[in-house]
Amino acid sequence: MRKEYGGTIAVDDVSFEVGRGEIFGIVGPNGAGKTTAVECLTGMRKPDGGRIEVLGLDPNRNGDELRRRIGVQLQQAALPDRLKVWEALDLYSSFYDSPTDWRELMDRWGLSEKRGAAFENLSGGQKQRLFVALALLNEPEIVFLDELTSGLDPQARRASWNLVREIRDAGRTVVLVTHFMDEAEMLCDRVAVIDEGRVIALDTPRKLIGNLEVESSLSFTAANGFDPASLRNLPGVMEASREGDLVVVSGSGSLLAPVAVELDRQGIQPDDLTMSRATLEDVFIFLTGRNVRD
């Protein structure tokens, strides 16, 4: 698909396919065109070019029919200030032919205590949970979640991740839009990495990370005199360097076993050993030369 706003290209060339029952991530920095892509997929906006098919429907021509079968949590949305939680759920239920029982959703998403609270008095996390509950009222075949965990504290974010897995386990397809790379890596079966309106990578997080030359690194401190050059010829090692006491070894695959064997052979006792794996964040940096939050 492709979408311009008065000369500014929001979505330049975005193509992907989402399989039934998967959690598909659309990731990338703010302003990459993620939200515009979701708006086109849900028929809220008309793309300038390309072809979109969702559940066999053209979102642009059969938008109403499509929106009966999907659920959408938007990054940017609100309810009337003085609308109460239960009233919102009850109202939105009336938009669908055979909605699920909203009381059950209210329980599941931890909103029962707030059932009589006005929208304006809810916390960010409570509003977010209410919007997810609203998106699930019609037992949708696909759920679009746009920046689900933005503005949530770390604890609430983790709780949300579990709830997203629950949605998928209930047999629904989830399209998760996020600028949090860790979130995409944790949750998504496959991700499309979008930057400046283009898909720059599309695969499972594991494969994307596996394609990096440097996918893991290992660091430790060693007493003076240790020469890291002796590690460079080990299998998988691409780089080994030393700064003061700290030795950093990077490469692909599991570096731990060969490095440990070599250190042991030399009689070196490594301290403060830490291993780190490359993340989706590193994939983005590798592909764009930029940090996601730059």
Partner 1 sequence: MKALYKMTVVEAKMFLREPMAVFFTLAFPVMALLLFGNLFGGYPVPGTDLRGIDLYVPAYTGMIIGTVGLIGLPTTLAAYRDKDVLRRLRATPLTSTTILGAHVLVNLAATTVGIALLLVVGKLAFDLKMPEAPFSVAAALAFASLSFFAVGFAMAGLLPTVRVTSAVGQIVFFPMLFLSGAALPLQTLPNSLRRISDFLPLTYVVELAQGLWIGEGWNWFAVAVLLGVLALSILVSAKTFRWE
Q: Which is nearer to partner 1, 120 or 182 (CB)?
A: 120
Shortest distance (Å) from residue 119 CB to partner 1: 9
Shortest distance (Å) from residue 73 CB to partner 1: 9
- The answer to whether 266 and 234 have CB atoms below 8 angstroms apart is no
Shortest distance (Å) from residue 67 CB to partner 1: 5
Residue 49 bridge partners (DSSP): 2
Q: Which is nearer to partner 1, 72 or 181 (CB)?
A: 72
For residue 163, give both structure tokens.
Answer: 């709830």
Shortest distance (Å) from residue 11 CB to partner 1: 18
Shortest distance (Å) from residue 71 CB to partner 1: 8
Q: Which is nearer to partner 1, 77 or 170 (CB)?
A: 77
Q: Which is nearer to partner 1, 131 or 226 (CB)?
A: 131
Shortest distance (Å) from residue 78 CB to partner 1: 5
Q: Which is nearer to partner 1, 69 or 108 (CB)?
A: 69
Shortest distance (Å) from residue 29 CB to partner 1: 22
Q: Which is nearer to partner 1, 21 or 80 (CB)?
A: 80
Map tokens 């929001």 to a residue: 10
Question: How many other β-carbons are positioned within 10 Å of the β-carbon of residue 158?
Answer: 14
For residue 43, give both structure tokens.
Answer: 């028929």
If we measure between CA atoms, which residue out of 245, 290, 291 comes closest to residue 271? Answer: 245
- The answer to whether 149 and 131 have CB atoms below 8 angstroms apart is no
For residue 52, give both structure tokens.
Answer: 């979109």
Burial class for 233, CB neighbours closer than 10 Å (0-12, 13-18, 19+): exposed
d(CA 81, CA 93): 19
d(CA 276, CA 56): 43
Q: Which is nearer to partner 1, 31 or 95 (CB)?
A: 95
Residues lying near partner 1 in the complex (CB under 8 A): 42, 44, 64-65, 67-68, 72, 74, 76-80, 82-83, 87, 90-92, 94-96, 131, 134
d(CA 77, CA 249): 47
Rounded to the nearest 10 degrees, how much is the dihedral formed by the CA atoms of 218, 219, 220, 221? 150
d(CA 277, CA 167): 28
| DSSP state at residue 119 | G
